[in-house]
Structure 1
């Protein structure tokens, strides 16, 4: 069995930027920014499968592991209701998303491939939603997390969280079901969470309230320039999943064209972070990135001794 990143000296590449690639590069409409409905149509299911297979192949080519993220970031009750999904429909969607990845993984060398159930925030990831207490967040997210019982997931990754109370609730819900949980906070251009909290403080608060149940933390949906100076000394941060653009979240929300940055420059920045901070074992691309960015990152990171 492949060890999780915090248990292994391997590095793992991950991709959470598929939605921007689908919209801007593939011309596919994603109502509500949700990609999970694509599993229900044969042509788009095949497109998703191609993405996954290419990610596995590029990781193998560069001698690193890969984490496959399910398309379930938006597959919670509030976000999916407008798309016509009820409670049972969401259970089916979440389980199918993991089964889809497991089937593809079974066709490859599975020794370096992990499957992650991707959980997103209840509301807008770019705003400081402080309306939920940790107890409310635990109760809310428990339904999606419970739907994963019995599937072939290796871990659960809660991405693009803007505040620590929601992170605490998700971590508690996962811990009660004995599912390894990763918490990924997003930060603004100043390196702080959208709530204004310092990253280190958010991690410390979450750890204190959960008896350090998250297996590790990550930063995602931000450019390296926004957080590079926040990594020193915090070995609980084990991953960086970066945006291609240096734009703020507000600017990205208003963008009508994709800013895909410079894949080679971004890859060098990510490799530099991993060289400077050996605790980092997970890296990859978020908004604005595509498989070019992942390949460039994997090539540079794979060459690090």
Structure 2
């Protein structure tokens, strides 16, 4: 079973004329918790792979984004529910070292089968332009919290640590590794080095605070420059922040904008600390989100991937692509 199926998706022209080609999903974990009543230990979605009901829920979730891709005439990135499936978090959830390999492999198998099924059914075929295709991407999350930099660790130490997941994705036939919500340059460099060592493509994504800086205080422009100098990835995203917060990183220095290939934005304008403390989901204002996203996207000439993050669901992503949800 191939995890990589691509048939020349037509370029979309729905985000400020930039022409992104790939739809990806929204805030999987917040969607599951607040819309489906699923309890996620340590924010980990991958345990759903262990039950028939859980796998059905994941299948339904990703299928919604396939419909967005079909309507938008774009390709679909099926990104595995493994943001918390690295060794430390698997142990925290109650798993063993063997579970790291198992759940990451199973996630690719599930999404590859889904992609092939959707393609066979014509669900990934945009009107008039031929099949859009799909790619399965192995999702890697930060070793730490995702909003907090954590203890100081070298890039080489991060590379060794993330190799457990990265090597499994390389073995599985996933199209690439995508590391989301990274808070430091060192961890981003480590993920890229791990991917290079295992011969798999890699995209990395920083998150920023409301001031447009990484959680450790590094300006986004500086982080991008240091990453590209030390270990340039195949793709660079920004995720888990409102587009208005990301836009603040352009104030005074927009040298990083040509490097950005993807956005996965939050619905809410709240800070990470406020989101952590929130007991109710802030789904944001969708028209405002779209307007802010369009303004930001217009300044990103190489934007290729558009999706969502915390607080977003298929409605938000559909709106970002200018199609009905």
**TM-score past 0.5 threshold:** yes
Residue 29 of structure 1 aligns with which residue?
Answer: 39
Determine whether 1:253 maps to 2:263: no
1:181 correspondence with 2:202 = yes
Corresponding residue of 1:2? 6
1:199 counterpart (220, 225, 231): 220
Distance 1:152 1:56 in 2: 21
1:97 matched to 2:82: no
Task: Choose the corresponding residue for 2:249, options 230, 248, 266.
Answer: 230
Determine helix, strand or coil for the equivalent of 1:108: helix
Worse-matched range after superposition: 108-117 or 256-265: 108-117
Q: Is the 8 A contact 2:260 2:300 kept in 1?
A: no
How far residue 16 of structure 1 moved from its aligned partner, in angstroms, is 4.2
**Partner residue of 2:16?**
none
Aligned residues of 2:20 and 2:303 also touching (Cα < 8 A): no
User: Higher mean Cα deviation, 278-287 or 148-157?
Assistant: 148-157
Query: What RMSD, in angstroms, separates the aligned Cα atoms of the two structures?
Result: 2.1
| Partner residue in 2 for 1:57 | 67
1:145 is displaced (CA, Å) by: 0.8
The alignment's TM-score, normalised by the length of structure 2, stands at 0.86
Gaps of 5+ in 2: 13-18, 125-131
Say if 2:23 and 2:68, in contact at 8 Å, map to a contact too.
no
Q: Does 1:217 align with 2:240?
A: no
Partner residue in 2 for 1:297 = 320
Query: What TM-score do the two structures reach when normalised by structure 1?
Result: 0.92
Give me the whole-angstrom Cα distance separating, in 2, the residues matched to 1:265 and 1:152: 39
Q: 2:309 is matched with which residue?
A: 286
State the secondary structure of the residue aligned to 1:44: helix
Give the aligned partner of residue 121 of structure 1. 142
Per the TM alignment, residue 4 of structure 1 is displaced from its structure 2 partner at its CA by 10
Work out the CA distance in 1 between the residues paired with 2:171 and 2:160. 20
1:229 deviates by: 4.0
**Could you list the runs of 5+ residues in structure 1 that have no partner in the other structure?**
none
What SS is found at the alignment partner of 1:181? strand
Q: Aligned partners of 1:168, 1:36: CA distance in 2, in Å?
A: 25
Aligned residues: 298
